[in-house]
Amino acid sequence: PKTDIVFLKVHKSASSTVMNILFRFGEMHNLTFAFPIGGGNQLFYPRHFLARFVQGFSPRSPQRFNILCHHMRFLQPEVHKVVSSSAFYFSILRNPVKLMESSFAYYKGTSAFSRAHSLEEFLSQPYHYYNPADSDSHYARNLMTFDFGFNPDGEVSTERVQLMLKAIEASFDLLLISEYFDESMVLLKEMLCWDLDSIVSFPLNIRDSSTKSPLSDTIVEKIKDWNRLDWEIYTHFNRTFWERIDRDIGRERMQQEVKALRERQGELARTCLQGMGSVAPKHIKDSSLRPLQHGNAKILGYNLKQGLDEETEHMCRRLVTPELQYSSALYKKQFAQKPP
Res 339 pLDDT > 60: no
Q: What is the CATH number of the domain that holds 111?
A: 3.40.50
Res 145 pLDDT > 90: yes
pTM equals 0.95
Res 92 pLDDT > 80: yes
How much is the mean pLDDT over the chain? Answer: 95
**Which residues partner with 170 through β-bridges?**
none
Residue 215 identity: L
339 assigned to some structural domain: no
More confident residue, 339 or 156: 156
Quickly state the pLDDT bin for 154 (edges 50, 70, 90): very high
Distance from C-alpha of 141 to C-alpha of 279, rounded to nearest angstrom: 31
Total structural domains in the chain? 1
336 assigned to some structural domain: no
Instruction: Give the structural domain span for 79.
Output: 5-331
50 assigned to some structural domain: yes
Quickly state the pLDDT bin for 337 (edges 50, 70, 90): low
pLDDT, one tens digit per residue, over 218-270 is 999 999 999 999 999 999 999 999 999 999 999 999 999 999 999 999 999 99
Quickly state the pLDDT bin for 208 (edges 50, 70, 90): confident
Distance from C-alpha of 184 to C-alpha of 189, rounded to nearest angstrom: 9
Give, in order, the Cα–Cα distances in Å from 93 to each of 47, 63, 121.
Answer: 20, 30, 26
338 assigned to some structural domain: no
Res 64 pLDDT > 80: yes
pLDDT, one tens digit per residue, over 162-175 is 999 999 999 999 99
| 285 three-state secondary structure | coil
108 assigned to some structural domain: yes
What is residue 71's predicted lDDT score, i.e. its pLDDT? 97
Over pLDDT 90: what percentage of the chain? 91
Res 274 pLDDT > 90: yes
Give, in order, the Cα–Cα distances in Å from 253 to each of 17, 31, 240, 261.
Answer: 24, 31, 18, 12
What is residue 338's predicted lDDT score, i.e. its pLDDT? 58
Distance from C-alpha of 189 to C-alpha of 148, rounded to nearest angstrom: 23
Neighbours of 290 (CB within 10 A): 16
